[in-house]
Structure 1
Amino acid sequence: MSKKDLYRPNVAMIIVSNNYPSKKEIFLAQRNDLLDVWQFPQGGIDEGEEVKEALFRELLEEIGTDEVEVIAEFPEWISYDFPPRIAETMRPFIGQTQRYFLVKLQENAIINIETEKPEFCDYKFVTADEVLYLSASFKKDVYESVINYFKKEGLL
C-alpha cells in the first residue's frame, strides 16, 4: 500500500448561510461522539463515486439537505493525519485527503441534523475566526489553509 493509499478520500464543505454574501456566516457542527469538537460537514467518497456526487450525498446524510449552490472549489486535495485515538478506529487509513467546496444554502433549505445516522448534536453559524477557535486541533491547519484561500479569492 502506497502512502497515498493510506489517506481516505473525503469531501468537505464550508457552508455559508443564505444571507451570503452580505453576511459571511459559516456553518459549524458539534460532533456527537467527540466532546466539544466542532467541524465542517465531511465524509468519505465511495469507490466509483464522483467528488460532486459525494458532496451532495454527504450534505443529505449529515445536515438533511442538499439544497445548496456551489460557489467555489478549493483547487487541490489537502490532507491531514488522524490523532492516534482516531487512527485506531479508521484503519488502514492514517488520515484523510479532502476536496473542499464553498457552498451556499438555498433560500428554501432546511437544516436537519437529526438524520438517519446523526453525526452532530448541535450546529451554529460563526465567523471564519470562530471556526479556527472552535475546531479540532488536528484539523486547524487544513481549515486555516482553506479559509485563507477563500478569503484571498474574496469569497469569505
Structure 2
Amino acid sequence: MVIAIGTVVGGQTILSRLSLDQSLLPTRSFPPKSDQIASGAEDSVISLEHLGGVWVANVELNDFHEARLIVDTGATFTTISEDLAFDAGIRSNTANSPINLLTVGGRVQAELGVARRIRVGNTGRDDVQVVIHTIPNLPDGIDGLLGLSFFDRFLVRLDHSNKQLHLSPRT
C-alpha cells in the first residue's frame, strides 16, 4: 500500500511517497471507520493562505488546539507533528503502532493515532485517524498535512482566485 503524505514547498519536494509494510496493517479497521461528521457541520467556506506553492488552513484539533496544516487532498492520512500530537492530547494506538513507512529518504517509523475532532472553519469530523510523524523541512509554523482521512466525507472545492476552500458534507 502506498500512502501519499508528501507535498511541494517552494518547488522542492519535501516528502513524496510512503509505502506501508502490509504485514503491519491491523486485521480490523483502526479506528472503526467513522462516517460521523461533527455535530453542527454544514457547508463551510474556509480562508486559506497561499505559502510557497501550497495552501495552508487553520485547523482546530480536539476542540482546543489550533494548528496550521497544508491542504493535501492527495495525502491518504492527515499527518501531524509529534509536538502537535502531544499538545493536542493525541496518543498513538500501541496495538497498531509503530508502522514502517518507506519514504524517498528511507524507512521511517510513525505512529497512528485518532484525533477526537478536527474542525476547519465551521465544519468538522469526529474520530479522524492521523499519522503522528514530524515531516522534515516543513516551513516554520506548519504542523503537518490535512489529508483524506479528514476530507473523505466532504465534497471539496478549491477556489484558487479567492484563496478559499469550500467543504460540503456528503449526503
TM exceeding 0.5: no
Greater fraction helix: 1
TM-score of the two chains, using structure 1 as the length reference = 0.28
Q: 1 or 2 for the larger relative contact order (CA 8 Å, sep ≥6)?
A: 1
Task: Give 1 or 2: higher strand fraction.
Answer: 2
